[in-house]
Structure 1
Amino acid sequence: MNDALSPPSSAPATPPAALAPLPGPLAARIIAVTSGKGGVGKTFVSANLAAALTRRGYRVLVLDADLGLANLDVVLNLHPKVTLHDVFTGKAQLDDAVIEAPGGFSVVLAGSGMVEYSRLTPAVRSEFLNVIQTLAPRFDVVLLDTGAGISDVVLFSVSLASEVLIVATPEPTSLTDAYAAIKVLATQQKRQQVRLVVNQAARPGDGRAITSQLQQVLDRFVTTDSGRPMRLVHMGDIPADMSVRDAVMRRQLLMLHMPGCPAALAIAQLASKVDTTLLAPKGA
């Protein structure tokens, strides 16, 4: 494990430009769901967590922040008439891009394969920031389903959130890339902590062990501006479950398709922890 988590030498060539912080009440309810590596179930987690939080009484928006390789529409089996591409190019109004998803939450979807959004240009930055500032006050929770990795577009999306959920699987490549992403969030965005969700866990307790091992590497190699190591908070495990594959192939939400399966129960527990640790204190 430790060999797999040795610090990678690569990092973004240039850090994202400094971003003025969003107003406190606006930022307090924005949560970025991201990952170091693609294919770990990040969008699956975002969509099903949104459904679980909606069941708990929250008004939830999932914003597809993977502007170049969006697939939230595929996971939800939606065929939007208006996407962020249409909003950014002035072909449609933002309100027309907000649609209801199965599960009762709202989504704003991005088109796939748009090369012009693979880099953080001033226009993309401005348009995306306007979307966040316009929509966030209408909801209790905004989940940003970002792209994977540490590109400038991903880091900009994450910078808009007050909390970060890193999704990783137990595979060494996923953990190594998760470490790289966490290190960048500590050094470039000055974050003191991020939260980890371990997907496709083979055994109960795997996630806590993985979090502990990652924390040891962070303690050794990553120091925040405060002089303290980056804190990694274990938020929960989602067990490997054949029901997940079945739901994904059917393009159905697991929380609706098989709400009693082990993975769905784990997502419900994750929603409970998000509620009690991130959301309830904000409204107290």
Structure 2
Amino acid sequence: MSNAVLPPHPSISTHIPLGDAVRARPQHRAQIIAVTSGKGGVGKTFVSANLAAALTRHGLKVLVLDADLGLANLDVVLNLFPKITLHDVFTGKASLEDAVLPAPGGFSVILAGSGMIEYSHLTPEVRSKFLEVVETMAPRFDVVLLDTGAGISDVVLFSVSMANEVMIVATPEPTSLTDAYAAIKVLTTQQKRQHMRLVINQAVRPGDGRAITGQLQQVLNRFVTTESGQPMRLIHMGDIPADPAVRESVMRRQLLLQSTPGCAAALAVAQLANKIKAMLVA
């Protein structure tokens, strides 16, 4: 892990115990990881859901919070039909505890309602309630994955601001990489991030992601400086290869790690989970 430790949200502790040790120490708080992207359609929610299943297999207690307010699709990926969503919690129609649902793969989810135009801009009231949700859930889990929307809207930026770590999902396509760079630049400037993590989805050739990370790092070295005066450090977390099994699992609304656990993409997600666990231990 980088020596440049990311300053978390002021209300979030950096203490990150694991497994049984977590449950033995009631003051623990989850490691909160924002899974985000500069461009939509790059497989961000697919990564969030399957990564959660892979981390659960390590014995970690994982929550995926659908932070894509208004355009949520985590329920579609997991084939869930929620009666209670974050919208109900925000409006006082239901309790937060009732919104926490079990998901395939053994982890928990809190789903957001879709098509809610009132969440296209973040009001102070929604901001406060959103933060309260994360603060309430953090002590109950080992890892909280925030499946954010794409881009740099105020909703996305606020969602990411609550995370200790930021993981950008991108594809090798030029438009995805351009938008990923834009998101990294904004997050560095506005949130004083010292490092971020990058996952390349739909990689065509082995080594694509490491080469892309190197290219982006060169651009960041020239044009994006952190508060400390050092370049933003981009950490390559791995590649998920283009795999027909991914599309099949999405069409069937199944987790790839359950439907085709031995395929190349599923093995890559498992390797990503290994790196995340090592990061938590560090």
- The TM-score normalised by the length of structure 2 is 0.91
Whether the 8 Å contact between 1:27 and 1:160 is mirrored in structure 2 is no
Alignment match of 2:101 (pick from 99, 102, 107): 99
Structure 1 segments, 4+ long, off by >4 Å, are none
Gaps of 5+ in 2: 1-8, 16-27
Give the CA deviation at 1:23.
3.5
Q: Distance in 2 between matches of 1:225 and 1:61?
A: 31
Please name the residue that 1:266 is paired with. 268
Q: Distance in 2 between matches of 1:45 and 1:133?
A: 23
Deviations 1:108-145 (A, max 9, x none): 00010101011110011011001001111000000000
Give the CA deviation at 1:68.
1.3
Q: Percent identity?
A: 78
Deviations 1:145-177 (A, max 9, x none): 000000011000000000000000000000000
Q: Distance in 1 between matches of 2:102 and 2:256?
A: 17
Q: Distance in 2 between matches of 1:166 and 1:153?
A: 16
Please name the residue that 2:14 is paired with. 24
Whether the 8 Å contact between 2:65 and 2:146 is mirrored in structure 1 is yes
Whether the 8 Å contact between 2:30 and 2:141 is mirrored in structure 1 is no
Please name the residue that 1:137 is paired with. 139
Whether the 8 Å contact between 1:148 and 1:154 is mirrored in structure 2 is yes
Q: Distance in 2 between matches of 1:115 and 1:137?
A: 31
Letter of the aligned partner of 2:168 in structure 1? Answer: I
Q: Distance in 2 between matches of 1:237 and 1:24?
A: 27
The alignment partner of 1:200 has SS state of strand
Give the CA deviation at 1:238.
0.1
Whether the 8 Å contact between 2:70 and 2:113 is mirrored in structure 1 is yes
Give the CA deviation at 1:214.
0.2
Deviations 1:72-97 (A, max 9, x none): 00000000110000000000000000
Alignment match of 1:86 (pick from 85, 88, 91): 88
- The TM-score normalised by the length of structure 1 is 0.91
Q: Distance in 1 between matches of 2:173 and 2:160?
A: 23
Alignment match of 2:38 (pick from 27, 36, 39): 36
Please name the residue that 1:148 is paired with. 150
- The root-mean-square deviation of aligned C-alpha atoms, in Å, is 1.0
Q: Does 1:280 align with 2:270?
A: no
Gaps of 5+ in 1: 1-18
Please name the residue that 2:211 is paired with. 209
Please name the residue that 1:16 is paired with. none
Q: Distance in 1 between matches of 2:12 and 2:259?
A: 37
Q: Distance in 2 between matches of 1:245 and 1:82?
A: 28
The alignment partner of 1:30 has SS state of strand
Please name the residue that 1:167 is paired with. 169
Deviates more, 1:189-198 or 1:24-33: 24-33
Q: Distance in 1 between matches of 2:11 and 2:227?
A: 17
Whether the 8 Å contact between 1:27 and 1:162 is mirrored in structure 2 is no
The alignment partner of 2:199 has SS state of strand
Q: Distance in 2 between matches of 1:124 and 1:226?
A: 32
The alignment partner of 1:24 has SS state of coil
Deviations 1:43-67 (A, max 9, x none): 0000000000000110000000000
Q: Distance in 1 between matches of 2:173 and 2:254?
A: 26
Q: Does 1:119 align with 2:109?
A: no
Q: Does 1:233 align with 2:217?
A: no
Number of equivalent positions: 262
Please name the residue that 1:197 is paired with. 199
Q: Distance in 2 between matches of 1:259 and 1:186?
A: 36
